[in-house]
């Protein structure tokens, strides 16, 4: 009996050891540790993808700004996190366009929309997911508020342990000048190339957000009848004469305003008869030449995308939704760098069609091929599926026509 009992114990022990060994072997072979602790955040709407386009989803500015942030910043480790977030109260496209001047390095931050007295849940989740690292040169600031907000917003940020800096001014002219001065402080200089937009014509200026995010050149505002004092002060701060680029035809920014701006630098008007034509004019525009400095330290002026050939990326936005368009500028900062083009909700205007045909790639070879790509910003109610398909076809590589007779 003792011998049988001992053999049962041995069999039981052997079975346990065998089972543990198998489990250990399976763990070694198949276990993959999760090194990154950032939680997945579900996109607020389905992403529609074609061969040459990707739709950035969202029914409102909160969802769209969060979706854009998710594309640019995976936030899985330090190298792909932003240093901060830019929080803009919804309600004024000019405020959003001014906020775009904060995007560029060293701040490196996406624009996220909030309400004046509340941070929406989708934005709270995105801030937590991003877990911004903080801007070291500015007391580890993790959020920049552009505009006036209620105390509740500030309390919510403090509860999330987010250090913030607020830019607040009496109007958008002063706000633009204030942010420009801040940028000059952390960059040790004012950029000499600036853009001037009309304060009542978003369709002529929102496409500048991609260039501002790409190169850091700011946008200032003028009214229909005058150059505001804040804009004058900002232009005077340039070390030498500014290089001033007007975003608007003569009906939007009058020759008289252009002449007055000429007192502060060299004025050029971006080409384009209407807003759609000017968005393509800006995409193809390039101003290159000497800037300033002594002969031993001469700097070069390079302004404008200058795109007139295949192999580029574009951002399609609807000017009827200017606030939705501006945050997409960051796609030219850390994403697929390229200009914004204006489309309507149900059609691509003729100037944009002509431009896309000019830059449409032609088949070169299976291993030596240029491609174009387009982001479509907003849900199908903002830019329809038909427009996305049309854009896809205009971005598609043109195949050579076979001359072989049947």
60-109 pLDDT per residue, tens: 999 999 999 999 999 998 889 999 999 999 999 999 999 999 999 999 99
386-396 pLDDT per residue, tens: 999 999 999 99
pLDDT value of residue 37? 57
Q: How far apart are CA 303 and CA 306, in angstroms?
A: 8
Contact status, residue 166 vs residue 149, Cβ threshold 8 Å? yes
Q: How far apart are CA 149 and CA 136, in angstroms?
A: 25
Local confidence band at 404 (pLDDT 50, 70, 90 cut-offs): very low
pTM of this structure: 0.87
pLDDT value of residue 26? 81
Q: How far apart are CA 184 and CA 236, in angstroms?
A: 13
What's the rounded mean pLDDT across residues 295-305?
79
Of all residues in the chain, the percent with pLDDT exceeding 70 is 91
21-37 pLDDT per residue, tens: 888 888 777 766 655 55
- Domains in the chain: boundaries: 53-395
């Amino acid at each position: 009996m003792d011998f049988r009992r001992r053999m049962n114990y041995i069999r039981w022990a052997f079975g346990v050891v065998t089972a543990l060994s198998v489990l250990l072997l399976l763990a070694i072979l198949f276990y993959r540790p999760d090194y990154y602790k950032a939680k997945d955040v579900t996109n607020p709407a389905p992403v529609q993808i074609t061969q040459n386009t990707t739709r950035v989803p969202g029914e409102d500015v909160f969802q769209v700004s969060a979706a854009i942030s998710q594309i640019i910043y995976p936030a899985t480790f330090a190298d792909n996190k932003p240093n901060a977030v830019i929080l803009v109260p919804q309600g004024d496209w000019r405020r959003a366009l001014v906020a775009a001047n904060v995007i560029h390095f060293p701040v490196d931050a996406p624009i996220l929309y909030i309400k004046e007295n509340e941070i929406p849940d989708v934005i709270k989740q995105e801030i937590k997911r991003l877990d911004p690292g903080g801007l070291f040169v500015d007391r580890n600031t993790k959020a920049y508020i552009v505009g006036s907000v209620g105390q509740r917003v500030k309390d919510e940020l403090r509860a999330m342990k987010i250090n913030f800096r607020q830019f607040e001014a009496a109007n958008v002219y002063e706000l633009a000048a204030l942010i420009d001065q801040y940028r000059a402080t952390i960059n040790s200089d004012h950029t000499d190339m600036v853009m001037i937009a009309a304060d009542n014509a978003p369709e002529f200026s929102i496409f500048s957000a991609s260039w501002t995010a790409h190169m850091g050149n700011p946008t200032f505002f003028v009214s229909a009848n005058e150059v505001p004092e804040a804009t004058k002060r900002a232009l005077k701060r340039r070390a030498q004469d500014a290089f001033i680029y007007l975003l608007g035809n003569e009906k939007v920014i009058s020759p008289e305003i252009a002449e007055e701006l000429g007192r502060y630098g060299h004025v050029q008007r971006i080409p384009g008869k209407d807003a759609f034509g000017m968005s393509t004019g800006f995409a193809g525009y390039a101003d290159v030449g000497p800037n300033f400095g002594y002969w031993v330290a001469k700097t070069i002026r390079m302004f404008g995308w200058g795109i007139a050939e295949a192999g580029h990326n574009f951002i399609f936005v609807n000017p009827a939704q200017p606030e939705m368009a501006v945050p997409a500028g960051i796609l030219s900062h850390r994403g697929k760098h390229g200009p914004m083009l204006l489309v309507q909700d149900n059609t691509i205007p003729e100037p944009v069609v002509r431009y896309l045909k000019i830059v449409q790639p032609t088949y070169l070879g299976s291993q030596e091929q240029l491609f174009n790509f387009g982001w479509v910003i907003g849900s199908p109610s903002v830019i329809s599926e038909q427009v996305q398909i049309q854009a896809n076809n205009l971005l598609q590589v043109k195949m050579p026509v076979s001359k072989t007779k049947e």
